[in-house]
């Protein structure tokens, strides 16, 4: 091969790599936008599957495996067949998606390799038109390992570049997902604290009224409110709010 030919080939390879990286970068930017406006994990996982299918041309279907204490489940899938392939792996306890989730390593396999690597899984895949498998570890949060699974109908559907780009995408997506989950948990805690402070203020108001009317101590007033709320089978906060509102409205 002449020097000019080698340069042209190198330019084509470099151009392909740049275009593929641009696709992955665009997918991550799109995922960030989804995380900014979406709280439903199922919707987020659907978007991750769609983006992976777009970023890796050889992927005919994509799924996400989530592993919890109760076992693995499929959080999202682009086609029902992907879900069914996942279920065979869950039932047999082996396969590329589980291997990626358990080991934290990218797994690439073709159908001819399955009997040697995962014989039970191989025995259950005869009815599926899938010849290539590519799974990368994907942690939704610190307590939920999983994998992003790509299935191809061609044995040459995935190459080394696809594995590297998928790993890059999953690593960056994990960071975005964890930040989003931390933000949601922090917001929930703030909301709970705000609700607790509001409840405390209402109860203290009611307690002050009872202390003034009945000339009792704070502890005695609180006990009286608790007793009334229990007898009426109403939450203490709701009873205190109603009690204060009745006083302000001139009720008894």
CATH of 188-248, one of 1.20.120.80, 2.60.40.10, 1.10.10.10, 3.30.9.10: 1.10.10.10
Domains 3-179 and 188-248 equal at CATH topology level: no
Percentage of residues in the chain having pLDDT higher than 70 = 74
Q: CATH 3.40.50.1860: does it fit domain 3-179?
A: no
Within 13 A of 60's CA, how many CA atoms are on the CB side?
17
Quote the Cα angle for 154-108-54, to 5°: 60
Residue 123's pLDDT is what? Answer: 94
Residue 9 has pLDDT above 80, yes or no: no
Give the torsion sign (CA, 154, 135, 93, 181).
negative
Q: Where are the domains of the chain?
A: 3-179, 188-248
Q: State the residue for tokens 């009997």.
A: 115
Residue 30's pLDDT is what? Answer: 55
Burial (CB < 10 A; 0-12, 13-18, 19+), residue 199, is middle
Q: Which of 33, 31, 25, 78 is nearest to 53 (CA)?
A: 78
Per residue in 29-39, pLDDT tens? Answer: 555 555 555 45
4-13, 187-196, 205-214, 232-241: least confidently modelled range: 4-13
Residue 167's pLDDT is what? Answer: 86
Please give the biggest Cα pair distance in the chain. 103
Q: Which of 9, 221, 41 is nearest to 144 (CA)?
A: 41
Residues 6+ apart with CB under 8 A from 132: 58, 109, 110, 111, 151, 152, 153, 154, 155, 156, 157, 158
Mean local confidence (pLDDT), 50-63: 89
Alpha carbons 82 and 121: distance in angstroms, whole number = 14
Tell me how far CA of residue 73 lies from CA of 10, 89, 178, 223, in angstroms. 43, 10, 19, 48
Is residue 135 within 8 Å of residue 64, measured between CB atoms? no
| 168/151: higher pLDDT | 151
Residue 186's pLDDT is what? Answer: 47
Confidence band (pLDDT; 50, 70, 90) for 232? confident
Residue 227's pLDDT is what? Answer: 81
């Amino acid at each position: 091969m002449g020097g000019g030919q080698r340069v042209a080939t190198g330019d084509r390879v470099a151009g392909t790599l740049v275009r593929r990286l641009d696709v992955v970068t665009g997918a991550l930017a799109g995922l960030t936008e989804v995380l900014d406006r979406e709280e439903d994990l199922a919707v987020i996982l659907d978007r991750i599957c769609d983006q992976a299918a777009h970023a890796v041309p050889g992927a005919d279907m994509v799924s996400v495996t989530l592993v919890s204490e109760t076992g693995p489940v499929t959080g999202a899938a682009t086609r029902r067949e992907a879900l069914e392939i996942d279920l065979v792996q869950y039932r047999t306890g082996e396969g590329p998606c589980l291997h990626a989730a358990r080991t934290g390593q990218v797994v690439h396999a073709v159908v001819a390799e399955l009997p040697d690597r995962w014989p039970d899984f191989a025995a259950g895949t005869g009815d599926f038109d899938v010849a290539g498998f590519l799974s990368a570890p994907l942690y939704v949060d610190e307590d939920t390992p999983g994998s992003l699974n790509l299935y191809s109908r061609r044995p040459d559907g995935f190459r080394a570049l696809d594995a590297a780009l998928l790993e890059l995408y999953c690593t960056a997506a994990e960071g975005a997902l964890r930040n989003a989950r931390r933000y949601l948990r922090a917001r929930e805690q703030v909301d709970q604290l705000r609700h607790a402070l509001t409840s405390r203020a209402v109860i203290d108001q009611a307690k002050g009224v009872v202390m003034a009317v009945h000339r009792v101590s704070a502890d005695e007033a609180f006990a009286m409110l608790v007793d009334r709320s229990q007898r009426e089978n109403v939450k203490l906060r709701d009873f205190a709010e109603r009690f204060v509102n009745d006083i302000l409205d001139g009720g008894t």
